[in-house]
Amino acid sequence: MSNATPFAVRPNDFPSIYGISRSRAFELIAKGALPARKVGRTTLVLAEDVEKFLRSRPIGLDPAPEAAIAARKAKKVGA
């Protein structure tokens, strides 16, 4: 198997290539952040589109995990 980056990637392969979970890849596709193409039943994203998306992200930690943790804590307190 070659170490070359593929031309197109299936969301199932995102974790091993980009460190993005399969479910997160499908969320990004659904939101339109990653353009996807269908070939039969297979969903493909061009590697260059993934790289453009990743380069557009800010450098540093994503604040979303802290927000999600705070929301869960608030839910438990209010439950």
Tell me what the mean pLDDT of segment 38-65 comes to.
87
Q: Which residues pair with 8 in a beta bridge?
A: 46
The domains of the chain are located at 8-78
Distance in angstroms (rounded) separating the CA atoms of residues 54 and 63: 16
Decide if pLDDT at 79 tops 60.
Answer: no
Calculate what percentage of the chain has a pLDDT beyond 70. 81
- pLDDT at residue number 30: 95
Model pLDDT for residues 18-44, shown as the tens digit of each residue: 999 999 999 999 999 999 999 999 999
Global confidence as pTM: 0.67
By C-alpha distance, which of 17, 21, 71, 12 is closest to 43? 12
